Amino acid sequence: MSNKNKLKLSALSVAVAAVFSAPVALANDVERVIVGFQPGAKAAVQQNVERIGGQKVVDLSRDNAMAITIPKQALRGLQNNPNVLYIEEDLKRELFSSEFEPNAPYGIGMVQADLVSAAVASNRTVCVIDSGYDLGHPDLQTNAVTGVWDSGTGNWYTDENGHGTHVAGTIAALANGVGVVGVVPNGQMNLHIVKVFGASGWAYSSSLIAAADQCADNGANVINMSLGGSFSSTTERNAFARLNSAGVLSIAAAGNDGSTRSSYPASYDAVVSVAAIDRNKQHASFSQRNSQVEIAAPGVDVMSTVPRGMGQLSLFNVGGSSYSAIAMDGSPDGDASGSLVNCGLGTSTCQGVQNSICLIERGHVSFSDKVLACQNGGGRAAVIYNNEAGDLNGTLGGVSVSIPAVGISQAAGQQALNSLGATAQVNVGSSHWASFNGTSMASPHVAGVAALVWSHFPECTNDEIRAVLNATAEDLGASGRDNLYGHGLVQAKDAYDYLMSNGCAAGGGSGGDDDGDTDGGDGGDDGDNGDSNFTVGATSYKVRGVVSVDLTWSGATSSSVTIRRNGSTVATVSNSGSYTDATGLRGGGTLRYQICEAGTSVCSEEITVSY
């Protein structure tokens, strides 16, 4: 956040999930882990935990597990308990977005949400697991919204971070003549809000499991999770598989690392992984690209709601034209108008700008020096345009100025030069809306479309809706499913028309996979078609109680292979014939492994290794 507590970014950044190779450490050598136990052994394990100085923090009984905090030195004793099946770290889950102001909600039309009626949306419930909801926001519904107070994060109807309100607005901002509109803009969609993030923007995998269960308990058909982390969790994977079997469609952001690394929960087979594209339908540079990416949606410059007053509005108008502007980080709020005057590069005090608006080109000196050059010449506001293609998102570097300052693109600046002498207006002030970037912004487009389409065909299953969304997506990038776009851009009207013509069963519950796998999770890399040319070996061992597995293989012909554990992608690596999987697991159990030709459905048979 800026020094004015407004949602604005001084330099475009990407939220990256935290990476841990050991259980999450807390103060005083206390660690937070998830313990999986034998069915019926909950009470005995909890008593053991408390006896050795631990404490249960999240009950995950539906998955025969619990999250606990425990002294580090007591972990070894716990893992020797015969009722304990495994101990794994309680992984952090973080928000996947960055933000800046302003822009238009182009995504609604791009996903065809404006072409499908929301008249029967009240028969669906979307659950948003995030940082809360600004109840009372002028552009968000107050009816048909529910939530539960949480002892850790507080009231669901407040949002100290801003992320959750932005996500909710993409799904359901009202068509009321104010601000923006969402995918379902008539206020009829049921929303359930689970607040797992505070202002810091991170939570644990156990909290996410409990949140997803709360969604299901409150009738959710669709869950949106604009969040994630870099490592998988056995308990978390099992929970989402269970929810999928119960008819819940779980949708998550693919991740913002800009790499081929998997992000979770998006990369579980039971969850739809959503990649981000821009207004030109190009893959966003920050969006993950891997075999689990299933579908794509707008995630760049997405305008939506934020908690009241938390956004920052930036406007520049001249000669009857309005231009997209981004307030300089550190700019004071203010409204200014006057004749537009060219101040060149602003390397010295601007001349002839008394009571005027200064137009200045980027380059040679700092942004603060340019603004001061305008201010010292008597200018009322500074407009700095880029010297290369793209928007200008700059900072004053902590230098105090008294006039508002905004950045605009090179193209806008060159056009504004044709309006010198005309009256210009610059406004920097508080706003209830903001533009964010991230796969966090793409995911709610898909969640909203899924619920919108499903509302017209409530007899369909979650797997059938998922399959139809994939089958009718607009193909982008390489022909067919690929690791950047998945099956392509989600299309609400095309999915609706498909179901009208073919019915639910036509989707086949396959997730729309071109290669016909039946789990629908990874868009053609189910690995169930084992290739006899592959031979795979696995050896497990423990280092300080933590399980690692050495994998070896032969017969792969591609330059890289994908390692899959228990149905989820672990990594894509060079085809060297060997790989060590540091699982992070403790205790005992079994793991299933496959090796696949990267980017294809050609996989080895599954092998099982005990630990």
Q: Locate 424 and state its tokens.
A: 């210009």
User: Rounded CA gap, 308 and 169, in Å?
Assistant: 13
User: Rounded CA gap, 362 and 497, in Å?
Assistant: 49
pLDDT of residue 356 exceeding 50: yes
Question: Using 50, 70 and 90 to split pLDDT, how confident is the model at 157?
Answer: very high
Conformational region of residue 29, where left means phi above 0, alpha means psi within -120 to 50, and beta covers everything else: left
User: Rounded CA gap, 312 and 317, in Å?
Assistant: 17
Going by C-alpha positions, the residue among 206, 271, 287, 222 that lies closest to residue 567 is 271
Q: Give strand ranges (E) for 418-567.
A: 423-431, 433-437, 535-543, 546-554, 560-565
Q: Select the more confidently predicted residue: 493 or 600.
A: 493
Q: Helix (H, G, I), strand (E, B), or coil: what is residue 323? A: strand
Question: Using 50, 70 and 90 to split pLDDT, how confident is the model at 226?
Answer: very high
Q: Locate 109 and state its tokens.
A: 């039309």
- Determine the pLDDT at residue 590: 79
Whole-number CA gyration radius for the chain: 26
- Determine the pLDDT at residue 140: 96
User: Rounded CA gap, 398 and 315, in Å?
Assistant: 22
Q: Average pLDDT, stretch 183-212?
A: 90
pLDDT of residue 187 exceeding 90: yes
pLDDT in tens, 42-57: 999 999 999 999 999 9
What Cα–Cα distance (Å) separates residue 394 from each residue in 237, 325, 406? Answer: 41, 11, 8
| Mean pLDDT, rounded, of the chain | 86
pLDDT of residue 8 exceeding 70: no
Q: Helix (H, G, I), strand (E, B), or coil: what is residue 98? A: strand
What Cα–Cα distance (Å) separates residue 28 from each residue in 23, 72, 572? Answer: 14, 9, 37
Q: Helix (H, G, I), strand (E, B), or coil: what is residue 147? A: strand
pLDDT in tens, 510-553: 333 333 333 333 333 333 344 447 788 888 877 666 778 888 88
Q: Which DSSP category does 340 fall into?
A: E
- Determine the pLDDT at residue 192: 98
Cβ–Cβ < 8 Å for 224, 447 = yes
Question: Using 50, 70 and 90 to split pLDDT, how confident is the model at 96?
Answer: low
Cβ–Cβ < 8 Å for 454, 460 = yes
Which of the residue ranges 63-77, 87-101, 479-493, 593-607 would you say has the lowest mean pLDDT? 87-101
Question: Using 50, 70 and 90 to split pLDDT, how confident is the model at 344?
Answer: very high
SS (H, E, C) 515-558: CCCCCCCCCCCCCCCCCCCCEEEEEEEEECCEEEEEEEEECCCC
- Determine the pLDDT at residue 585: 78
- Determine the pLDDT at residue 2: 32
User: Rounded CA gap, 390 and 412, in Å?
Assistant: 10
- Determine the pLDDT at residue 94: 67
Partners of 224 in the beta sheet? 128, 251
- Determine the pLDDT at residue 28: 55
Q: Residues 68, 206, 84, CA angle at the centre, nearest 5°? A: 50
Q: What is the largest CA-CA distance in the chain?
A: 83
User: Rounded CA gap, 230 and 205, in Å?
Assistant: 11
Cβ–Cβ < 8 Å for 514, 480 = yes
What Cα–Cα distance (Å) separates residue 410 from each residue in 284, 393, 457, 518? Answer: 21, 12, 47, 49
pLDDT of residue 406 exceeding 80: yes
User: Rounded CA gap, 1 and 42, in Å?
Assistant: 43
Q: Select the more confidently predicted residue: 230 or 529.
A: 230
Q: Average pLDDT, stretch 333-351?
A: 96
Give me the percent of the chain exceeding a pLDDT of 90. 64
What Cα–Cα distance (Å) separates residue 449 from each residue in 112, 199, 385, 443, 533? Answer: 9, 28, 37, 10, 42
| Cβ-based neighbour number of residue 86 at 10 Å | 21
Cβ–Cβ < 8 Å for 448, 171 = yes
Cβ–Cβ < 8 Å for 56, 49 = yes
Q: Locate 500 and state its tokens.
A: 């009208």
Q: Residues 321, 434, 443, CA angle at the centre, nearest 5°? A: 120
Q: Locate 567 and state its tokens.
A: 């149905």
Neighbouring residues of 273: CB distance < 8 A, sequence distance ≥ 6: 252, 254, 263, 266, 267, 288, 292, 293, 294, 295, 486
Single-letter residue type at 265: P
What is the reported pTM? 0.67
- Determine the pLDDT at residue 206: 92
- Determine the pLDDT at residue 238: 95
Going by C-alpha positions, the residue among 14, 10, 601 that lies closest to residue 288 is 14
Going by C-alpha positions, the residue among 504, 526, 506 that lies closest to residue 516 is 526
User: Rounded CA gap, 123 and 132, in Å?
Assistant: 23
User: Rounded CA gap, 104 and 179, in Å?
Assistant: 10
pLDDT of residue 10 exceeding 70: no
**Residue whose structure tokens are 């990594």:** 571
pLDDT in tens, 255-299: 999 999 999 999 999 999 999 999 999 999 999 999 999 999 999
Conformational region of residue 64, where left means phi above 0, alpha means psi within -120 to 50, and beta covers everything else: left
pLDDT in tens, 192-202: 999 998 777 67
Going by C-alpha positions, the residue among 458, 597, 460 that lies closest to residue 125 is 458
Q: Give strand ranges (E) for 152-259.
A: 190-195, 202-204, 222-225, 227-228, 249-253
Cβ–Cβ < 8 Å for 553, 598 = no
User: Rounded CA gap, 422 and 502, in Å?
Assistant: 58
